[in-house]
Structure 1
């Protein structure tokens, strides 16, 4: 479960990690009065999506009137399909230096992993590997102050700044353990007037542990209208911003399909795991959801175990006969009753593939031809 930035920062503040002065609003009322007290501000949309700045979700204002106007603008917008209902108004910072600090979990080594970098303020994926410091943490020992001081030395920090950053590292690890977090990230951790502040904050906690924290961690669920519809049908679905609508049966095969689409030069419109034993009606509903997002093409990748290929084929035919599908549709069927499923599709003029590479190449070719 992801937490909003303002929720993560409230937890930071309550546990001794300094954050900028700020206040949360769900309307523009009162924003002007707050800005009159603290001066120029950053107004941040509170949505569970990365890249808010690039999407216009962060605005700056220097006076109460401008701040009120910008707040009204943000509260009337959507960021990547998510309606902005809450904004965080914070003092605008004059930043001297930006750092990156995060703790996550290394599944392969089964240990918490601390990641630090002197190159903060940009997406961590863009930071060169040699600029990242990574340290596995033994949970029997924890992150000790001496280990945190060694990391600050490698970051090139000295004096009071090094002491404060080391202290924040230790506190961040304590929060990681206390809240059963999957990720805690500060990007950037900034130096302002010789002080350290968490200018941004991300926190993801284990869904199964959230019940332990009561009002400390409010349950957050933010889905687009399509994601909500899919959830009601019991379908695992996440909207993306690519070209090809994807349906597969199983999280692993779905992720592999998305990777192949990238590998062959296109991008997925969504993640959809239609489940390991979907009925014909459920499969039809899943296809209707995909079509509602208006992809440039559809790719259906079914490996039939519990799921029967002939049932999937009947669902595809049912949707095709009830809806005028005007975009290319490529199907890969392998597994239980595949011969029957392939024959059914062929009777209705629908070709299918056994090899997933062939299927992905075909759908990507359709998209590129359409875009040419």
Structure 2
């Protein structure tokens, strides 16, 4: 029997046992916000997996509804920008960390966190993209604005098997770039090639014998790893090239020299998808909406229910999942 409109189903994580639970909550439990969504889809990101599994300090307030991405329909609104019935997407701004996120049938959001779903995207495709696709597109836009054209040479994508890495490969390849993928998961080589990588490099040995200036190989890179991986990428970028820095899976410390920057003119471009200005978010989502259907099919790994999330989160952290797994809260 469908839930009464006055209640909604949600996955909660807490500090006390049971740490993960699924509850039927009264609508009054929703945080105060100007817009209420009926969530159609969320997604399982690595950050969400850390939050649900408890293996990372992601959640800042308890109890918390995780889910850093959400797409759905506005059912209540005090903001004229988003009338009832509007289709919207929500990412960033601490959703699922400091503010209740998308692993629920209902979600209360600040309207400034929203973007109207552009023509060409439905809620499912929006969540196949989510924070991962948005971040990858922001990286592509910055590389383009830095003057990195497709005819200047190959672009390396590190952390290629993750959500952002996979979308970065697909977006770069779709824009005409030659893409090389760096991955520590050799079993995913064929999938990375299917996404658009012309070459897949093993992570093993990549950081060995790194010098202040190495032999140049790539015109640019999209780095999802940070740490020693980013330190090993910078000396191998061609003169006037650029690296879009997105993640820190390999660590926050950057051990490098100024040589790539002052002797080769390499640019290090930071990507912050959490608090992206509204105009830039609109630009990125509008461009994502123009992607061909085949791009979504290649990255769609299926759907999960709230009841399956805890197991799937552990599998993701253990490296047993790839592609984009959507979450249906109902």
Using the size of structure 1 for normalisation, the TM-score is 0.22
Larger Rg: 1
Structure (1/2) with the larger helix percentage: 1
Using the size of structure 2 for normalisation, the TM-score is 0.24
Higher relative contact order (Cα pairs below 8 Å, separated by 6+ residues): 2
